[in-house]
Amino acid sequence: MAQPGLAVQLYTLRSRLAEDLDGTLAALAATGAQTVELAGLYTRSPEDMRAALDAAGLTPCSAHVPLTRVETEPGVVLDELDVLGIGTLVIPSVPAPADAAAADVLIARMTAAAELATRAGLRVLYHNHDFEFLALDDGTDLWSRVTAEGVPWGLEPDLGWLRVAGRDPVTVLSGLGSRFPLLHAKDVRPSGPKWHDVPAGDGVLDLPAIVAAAGEAGAEYLLVEMDNPSADAIGDIARSLDALRRVLAEAS
């Protein structure tokens, strides 16, 4: 059973990247990171971003691209990903539907966008938050729709958001079969009534069980991400990578 690799979602470093893209990518590479997932280009052209990643020794495995961009400027999106050498497009978030009818309209939009991207040779994934599990007016939810058989996309489960939604991440992963080539190993910890994301290994996630489930599913990458890192976001990433490396080593 092959183990997944490790990658970093650059959204974690968005503030630093906006101020100093080249220096931040170099600092990230110094943690031992080799693979990243993009979430924007920080005013750079695709060519310049590719050059910056190459200079830092980082390889992009995927990119978060808003659904509206795929709908309104598909040619631009496809050209960007081609220049960057990225074959996996992730829909990172969608508006939370107010009712079942709105959820069905949203799924129709996602289907059209995913089919367009798939025809262009891209693999399309959907990244969840917690609102997908909220009950709609007919008793269903968005999660059942985005995970339905036959949808033209795979999944990039966010384990932290699954836990915030009251789901057991390992149970969810076990029910998805091999439909998640990527997953966000975002750890979380409760503080009063609220949840906070923390470096991997510092929260409540059962990382050994998650690594085992990812391996059984043939997942390609566990991605480090924090929506709200500390002031030392690079340090947060380094700690997360170290924790995940230890778990992977123990599982091998």
Instruction: Identify the pLDDT of residue 235.
Output: 98
Instruction: Identify the pLDDT of residue 1.
Output: 67
- Any residues with CB less than 8 A from the CB of 53 and at least 6 apart, and which? 25, 36, 59, 60, 84
Instruction: Identify the pLDDT of residue 118.
Output: 98
Asked if residue 178 lies in contact with residue 218, where contact means CB atoms within 8 angstroms, the answer is yes
pTM above threshold 0.95: yes
**CA dist., res. 81 & res. 109, Å (int):** 21
Instruction: Identify the pLDDT of residue 55.
Output: 98
- Any residues with CB less than 8 A from the CB of 139 and at least 6 apart, and which? none
Place of tokens 């996996």: 88
Q: In the structure encoding, which two tokens stand for residue 119, read together? A: 């025809």
Could you tell me which of 49, 61, 62 has the C-alpha nearest to residue 21? 49
- Tens digits of pLDDT across the chain (252 residues): 689 999 999 999 999 999 999 999 999 999 999 999 999 999 999 999 999 999 999 999 999 999 999 999 999 999 999 999 999 999 999 999 999 999 999 999 999 999 999 999 999 999 999 999 999 999 999 999 999 999 999 999 999 999 999 999 999 999 999 999 999 999 999 998 899 999 999 999 999 999 999 999 999 999 999 999 999 999 999 999 999 999 999 998
**CA dist., res. 37 & res. 33, Å (int):** 11
Could you tell me which of 109, 83, 106, 85 has the C-alpha nearest to residue 96? 106
Instruction: Identify the pLDDT of residue 83.
Output: 98
Asked if residue 94 lies in contact with residue 60, where contact means CB atoms within 8 angstroms, the answer is no
Domain ranges of the chain: 5-251
The CATH number given to 5-251 is: 3.20.20.150
Instruction: Identify the pLDDT of residue 2.
Output: 83
